[in-house]
């Protein structure tokens, strides 16, 4: 099926690069895969990833993921040791996590109005829903999946009034995906067991450009033998990207499964890595420039 939007084009390229990265495919070859001219493709890809296709390829490699895994182990433990696992300042987007009470779970959203809509994101279309306590759903939707995603939202909140507002969803998505780290203050409202909530809180400690293993995440919440249960909790996260379950990988460094597709997970990891790298390079250039002026 030909690509119909920017993310589908990017996804096609990621799949191809995974299979042919040792061949170092040329720009013309990649552009032809998605039916674009070389110049158009270069602009599209650079705008999406923040770097050129050549630089992006480096962020897809096994070695890059292993390096970030090594960094992520210490970062997560340091954050938890510092007592940052509460609902205050959490990961780079300042996300506050609030858990539904037993009464709220039982009520099914009675008396609530949830504003929900479909919006474009760097990783394809998503259904984003927000209630009075925060974002309660962020699900990525492939072509033809809109009706199924909407029905799931209604099933999760059977007694709530759900009002469709695509513009509102787009506004929230822009805060999440397009603003600089630290610029967005967002709330995630989750429905889960005490164990699941502990896992999701720990996930919020994992910054962009780092990854952790299921086993390390289990140890971080004081349940070192519960890696399998942690994996299940990670998979039950209903607020994709906001609670960064895509940053959890296998002990071997293999990216592994993802609720919304392994390719999308790889795209998220590489996208974050490239943007952090670009930001760091830009900051270095600015510091050098300032020193030059001061002289």
Q: Are 133 and 182 in contact (CB under 8 A)?
A: no
Q: Are 277 and 57 in contact (CB under 8 A)?
A: no
Q: How far is CA 105 from CA 35, 87, 170, in A?
A: 48, 19, 27
Q: How far apart are the first and last CA of the chain?
A: 58
The 134-140 sheet, strands edge to edge: 95-99, 186-190, 134-140, 124-131, 113-121, 161-164
Catalytic residue among 59, 94, 136, 245: 245
Q: Which residues pair with 125 in a beta bridge?
A: 120
Nearest CA among 93, 99, 83, 105 for reference residue 198: 99
Write out the two tokens for 70.
């090594």
Q: Note if 136 is an active site residue.
A: no
SS3 call for 87: coil
Catalytic residue positions?
245
């Amino acid at each position: 099926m030909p690509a119909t939007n920017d993310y589908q084009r990017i996804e096609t390229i990621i799949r191809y690069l995974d299979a042919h990265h040792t061949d170092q495919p040329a720009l013309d070859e990649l552009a032809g895969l998605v039916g674009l001219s070389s110049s158009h493709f270069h602009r599209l890809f650079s705008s999406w990833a923040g770097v050129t296709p050549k630089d992006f390829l480096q962020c897809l490699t096994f070695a890059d993921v292993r390096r970030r895994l090594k960094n992520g182990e210490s970062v997560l433990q340091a954050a938890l040791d510092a007592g940052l696992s509460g609902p205050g300042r959490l990961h780079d987007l300042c996300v506050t996590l609030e858990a539904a009470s037993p009464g709220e779970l039982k009520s099914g959203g009675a008396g609530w109005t949830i504003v929900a809509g479909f919006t474009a994101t760097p990783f394809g279309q998503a259904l984003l829903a927000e209630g009075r306590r925060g974002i309660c759903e962020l699900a990525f939707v492939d072509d033809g999946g809109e009706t199924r995603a909407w029905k799931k939202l209604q099933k999760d909140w059977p007694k709530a009034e759900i009002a469709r507002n695509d513009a509102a969803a787009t506004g929230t998505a822009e805060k999440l995906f397009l603003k600089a780290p630290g610029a967005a203050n967002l709330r995630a409202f989750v429905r889960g067991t005490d164990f699941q909530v502990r896992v999701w809180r720990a996930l919020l400690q994992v910054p962009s450009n780092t990854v952790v293993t299921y086993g390390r995440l289990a140890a971080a919440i004081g349940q070192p033998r519960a890696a399998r249960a942690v994996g299940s909790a990670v998979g039950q996260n209903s607020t994709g990207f906001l609670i960064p379950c895509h940053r959890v990988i296998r002990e071997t460094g293999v990216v592994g499964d993802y609720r919304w597709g392994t390719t999308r997970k790889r795209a998220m990891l590489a996208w974050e890595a490239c943007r952090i790298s670009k930001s760091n390079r830009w900051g270095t250039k600015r510091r050098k420039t300032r020193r030059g002026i001061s002289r």
